[in-house]
Amino acid sequence: MTSPVPRRERLRQATIEEIKAAAHQQLTEHGAAGLSLRAVARAMGMTPSAIYRYFDSRAALIHVLAQDAYSSLADALEAAFRAGPPEDQMVRWLLVARA
């Protein structure tokens, strides 16, 4: 039996997810060059220094966002591969290429 995640850790994870969502929104609107921890903090109603409790730097935040993007891509490609008929590898790989 696994022990429940402490409330403090759940709140921390929720805040990290909110930071990532705000950063992703900034990336969409302004590109990587326009991503600012100060603007992310402002969008969340946090002080800029509070962001540093969750991410050491802008580069650390971008690193986590890139990891998330690659994980999402890998999940999509695996799902496309599994959607094809197991006996026809060519179709499976075509589905992966199209995904």
Question: Residues 6 or more apart from 20 whose CB is under 8 A from it?
Answer: 61, 64, 65, 68
pLDDT at 3: 84
pLDDT higher for 2 or 53? 53
Q: What is the pTM of this model?
A: 0.81
Show the tokens assigned to 65. 């966002």
> Would you say 76 and 65 are in contact if contact means Cβ atoms under 8 Å apart?
no
- Residue pLDDT, tens place only, 58-94: 999 999 999 999 999 999 999 999 999 999 999 999 9
Fold of 7-98: Tetracycline Repressor; domain 2 (1.10.357)
pLDDT tier, 2 (very low <50, low <70, confident <90, very high otherwise) = confident
